[in-house]
Structure 1
């Protein structure tokens, strides 16, 4: 969604919704100083310089980089993904017209100072010193995940320890860095099978439901869903985006409709805004410069000056109206739920009987 403009000087642009994404990629790092308490933290990469660049402005990491200038030992633990390192990416469900041969991948470590590294418990072999404190490598068949542990001693200095990890193959001897997504935290569990997408088309609760009629209910005036909610790129932004509902179960989605205050998304908490003139407004609140925008359950937005606000208090209930199942009735509610819980049906082929209806 485009940011709201005309904010105060130096103020971050405001957006009607914020998506938070996270994963379990990274490296577990433990620093043990020669004297003092050990420190543990997360790093995005094994290469120290790469991690320093990606953790700028992080107070926790800045503290760690400072103490790592003193003598001590650094231990890095991660799971390393070596699948399809030098193979072209293909669309899901597609296949290459040939089967690439498995590569033998060589991992190389360069470090200033004594270092010990193991891959699945097997130590790296020492290579010829090329001006560094140590250079080491180990070969492994491409594919699957491998446990990597690196222990590096640092004698102290103006900078934290130096460490680089790269890979190359018998077919392509150029040393390459590993992408961030190739590192998984050592305690993270990998799913044994790829999770299947939910398929709600055969749910008994939706038997007889019509997706297209449900779409009309969603965008219609009686249910009024689209005044506040968007789905698949259409609708309002006052309430949460509902595009992920096909991955949820029937019972929880029905409960959200029947009891909208049962579980309120913390990003869309209803606020009661009391103005200096004595008027009270209730709804979802967002800022736009020196203005507040309060959106009510009808999708109507009221803009007020911040200076005119006496107080803002969170409400215990949602602005989403109750009674929608009763107002729609069983058949129309079933159509609405069919629309919410299923992706659009495939378009009929051109020239077919349905396409010509």
Structure 2
């Protein structure tokens, strides 16, 4: 496996600047996830690493070698796409062996690699089937097997689970992560699903409008988002954001005040509180009327708000709280769990 270095990467489509000075390193054996909203440039970035898109400026190095101008076949990478892209007329075995046959790999080596990949992925009984006889999850395993047999330096995943149902996505997330740990493979994974990013990544790179906004471990991004955008994107349900004012250590919220752990410059702020960090309090400074109660079994989402202040908030609580639509509700939080953002720039304060 190998380190991947992205150095001052730029990508233009005419006047549109798709990637803006992208720079980061994926260490040998690391699993890095690129996340961001649709159109932020994450798939374009992955395609430039793969060699499927030419870069406008900057450099890409894999294993210390500059591959910026190399063809995809010369970069020693393997890519798993959102679409399985299996040949319908070929068996699973032949689909997995196809790239090795093109390289004129000895048949003995092909058989050994296919057998090993099939064992790792648990698809040994499927080797003689055609893709039409496979489920979505089985087809995705075959697509991954086709990548594994190549023994590449780097694995690239472009939203590979988007076509699967919710239950199968959870299963495949665990399987891909276990596969990475078994192979120790350098991997770059693109998704718009922040739950996938949080559960799979060693490190997350968040993109917005073609720029890297923040990079760090999942917990770093969750606990200390650098701005409002990252705070809203990481975490499910999304963080609650409430207009507030601060004076020294006093944070004044719509229905009361909280004493902060340290002094903050005075003025208007946006206060962010994670739904799971809220708790009931008779005189809580966060108040509203319950609009909807969503029972999920082990936990409940209580959606509440204040129409006069145009607030729509969420309380995530374990079990089944004794509240119904139309009930007034007052909540508070641990002051150390509050995130403060600039009301205009969105930067963390």
Using structure 2 for the length normalisation, give the TM-score. Answer: 0.26
Q: Which has the higher strand share?
A: 2
Bigger CA radius of gyration: 1
Higher helix fraction (1 or 2): 2
TM-score, normalisation: structure 1: 0.25
